[in-house]
Chains A and B, each alone.
Chain A
């Protein structure tokens, strides 16, 4: 169009009517892009561009979506395979927690117990001695008198801690193992760690039974 535009800032002149605007553009839409040679080039460019964008977006989505998994927060990783692996807590940490929740009432934070009432764990031959004896003592508990470091204790029974019938605490095998490992490491005690498997083996061998008495445990080695 050669009509010069009106330069009054207060009013922009219209160069075409509404009817012709509608008609002209409607005609453009009805036309196939390849009907005339001169329309061919720009649409080809555009189609190429559009496909490029789709390709790029698709690749990006495939690469960084973490397979649309709700557990993936880092776009560079894939969903964790199989079951969620819960990292094991350090048995000493877990054991300490159990000790502070249960055992500490009688055996005290320093592991010395209360003289005359509750036996000590520090330097106790029961703790550092036989694995089998220690596991049974804690899992099933113990009644009657008991001699620790040459001193007789008969004030209270050792409660049933493990996951067995009539247990007061129902602690799982790994927690029992952890607390036993813990008391073997604390207060200058030394001893091999107790594993969950050892506790499980004892439990499956003995089944549900009543608490031990000292004589039964001393028979084991």
Chain B
């Protein structure tokens, strides 16, 4: 392993453009740990309702909002943007431009979230799902986001090659669409609020769009990049990737509204969402075909990506199945919908992002992660934690659903019967929290190696990558 091979894989563009990306990833992992603490408190309150409820800052509603906001805008957004910038920079073939903008944007984005979290805790939350951050930080978020996004858009428009790759489509789509979604939702919900049930309708549309058209594409951008890079094989069925991409873009937004089944909205809204939910399965099928190489590969990144991919597919199938009104009758308003949400956000998006981060960091700092045992522990804890979290929530949800259908059953009985599973959810949150602390520590120590080389035991073990076979599918 000579130092020249290190230079071939870790390019000058990586080194020169690493600060914005490292800052985004570090803030993302930091928020992930904080979000885990909120999520743990919220999960304990589900089986022990008096836990911290005497403190106004931590009523169950507020802690849930804090956990969700931190997870989406803190962890997923920062990490996803970091990966997107890195992938766009690499595939663009040049050093990231407008780096100062990205760094300042990241700082203000995180400042906005910090202020916003304080606002939620003290009672300024807007009460809209995924748009809980108080009105006064919302404009700041838009501006900060655009400052970060510029860097990625410049890397795309200034790319060296004529051809483009799936990672770039997904990353650019996510970067470009989110401000539109955010501004549309802010306008219709916060600045000039629409009336009555239009508010939950539009909020449902926004929540679904954020997951389907912002977070999922950011995560997919990393996965589409890492999988062929590691396996060295061109993606199978890649000719269908553009169709899958546009299917997600055009149909994905319409799938928001499933949660309004039986609700006070005209029947066509959930019906349209359900139909879209089935249409979008095409996107998932093609993604599965494209990335199936990850399932056979070993190594840290591919393990995380395989898990994320399977969760992404399982989530889609569950969404489609529960969109039937007969099934929704039981699962609606229960922990089962929470399980689906956790499967999408944690099982799919976060695991795909972890996979990309494990692949990216050594190339950003020019040396491997500092601790292999931390990596292994994080891998095991995440997988066990997510299985336990989603599985227990799903079982608790089914119990809750059958109890709700039975008009004779009281809420006390329901709490009693779901309690063991809710305890398991808390255990899962503890496991995930430990795992996330490990990855944060490992990340920070690895990055510290850039200054204190004494910490690093082994430098430069990158192998020289070869040319990809074209007819490999």
Chain A residues close to B by CB (< 8 Å): 1, 3, 5-29, 31, 33, 39, 42-43, 46, 49-50, 53-54, 56-58, 60-61, 64-75
Contacts and interface: CB of A to CB of B under 8 A. Distances in A.
B278 A60 contact: yes
B250 interface: no
Given A5-B230, A21-B468, A65-B272, A28 B473 contact: yes
Given A9-B372, A11-B362, A75-B325, A61 B240 contact: no
Contacts of A24: 228, 234, 468-470, 472
Interface stretch (B138-146, B422-430, B458-466): B458-466
Interface residues of B, number: 75
Interface stretch (B61-69, B75-83, B280-288, B387-395): B280-288
B161 interface: yes
A5 B163 CA distance: 28
20 contacts: A1-B469, A5-B230, A10-B369, A12-B299, A14-B9, A14-B463, A20-B467, A21-B228, A22-B165, A23-B470, A24-B469, A25-B228, A27-B470, A42-B236, A43-B237, A46-B237, A61-B271, A69-B268, A72-B267, A73-B267
A122 B9 CA distance: 103
B375 A5 contact: no
Nearest to A36: B471
A196 to B, nearest CB: 34
Interface in B347-397: 358-359, 362, 368-372, 375-376, 379
A43 B239 contact: yes
Given A14-B462, A60-B274, 18 more contacts: A1-B232, A1-B469, A6-B299, A9-B379, A11-B362, A11-B462, A12-B299, A12-B300, A14-B230, A15-B465, A16-B228, A16-B466, A21-B165, A23-B470, A25-B235, A31-B239, A57-B275, A64-B271
B299 A7 contact: yes
Contacts of A15: 229-232, 465-466, 468
Contact of B268 (A14, A29, A49, A72): A72
Nearest to A57: B275
Interface string B226-254: 10111111111111111100000000000
Contacts of B376: 9
B297 interface: yes
Nearest to A39: B239
A46 B300 contact: no
B235 A53 contact: no
Contact of B467 (A8, A16, A70): A16
B223 interface: no
Given A42-B237, A53-B278, A13 B463 contact: yes
A25 B362 contact: no
Contact of A56 (B228, B234, B278, B325): B278
A5 to B, nearest CB: 5
